[in-house]
Amino acid sequence: MLKSLAIKNFTIFSEAGIEFSPGLNVVIGENNTGKSHLLKLAYAIAFVWHEAMIENKKMPGKIFSGGSKNWWQHRLAEKLMGVFKPDKLGRLFHREGGRYKTNIEATIFTGTNL
């Protein structure tokens, strides 16, 4: 279960930080504010994390998109392509001019921080 999500330059989000509660969370907002994109991203991250646990891959309690390409980064890119269905992964970047990278950071609730 996701504990937090920090997004930079992803789809509609230039920058966003979300803290989730254990249990039920409700996402509300006006049309075209990124609710579906947020939920699709959260789903993709949770899916890859769960998949890693099943395959006994070592996953940290916090993941981020920067740095070296780990197994989870490749798998998350594949899952995002499957969920969002862009013609290429670069279409998911939020651009406002200039050269910016997309950054995604996520932490999960563990048995010790529930």
- Encoded amino acid at 49, one letter: W
- Asked if residue 51 is part of any domain, the answer here is yes
Query: What is the rounded average pLDDT of the residues 2-10?
Result: 94
* Matching residue, tokens 């910016």: 100
Contact 92, 51 (CB under 8 A): no
Q: Which domain holds residue 95?
A: 2-108
Query: What is the rounded average pLDDT of the residues 60-72?
Result: 69
Query: How far is 10 from 13, CA to CA, in rounded Å?
Result: 5
- Asked if residue 28 is part of any domain, the answer here is yes
Query: How far is 105 from 60, CA to CA, in rounded Å?
Result: 12
- Asked if residue 69 is part of any domain, the answer here is yes
pLDDT tens string 85-107? 999 988 888 777 667 788 899 99
What's the chain's average pLDDT?
A: 85
- Asked if residue 67 is part of any domain, the answer here is yes
How much is the pLDDT for 11? 93
Percent of the chain with pLDDT over 70: 83
pLDDT tens string 8-28? 999 999 999 999 999 899 999
Q: How many domains does the chain have?
A: 1
Look at residue 12 and give its three-state secondary structure: coil
- Asked if residue 26 is part of any domain, the answer here is yes
- Asked if residue 47 is part of any domain, the answer here is yes
- Asked if residue 114 is part of any domain, the answer here is no
- Asked if residue 39 is part of any domain, the answer here is yes
How much is the pLDDT for 85? 95
Lowest model confidence (mean pLDDT) among 3-7, 62-66, 91-95: 62-66
In this prediction the pTM is 0.85
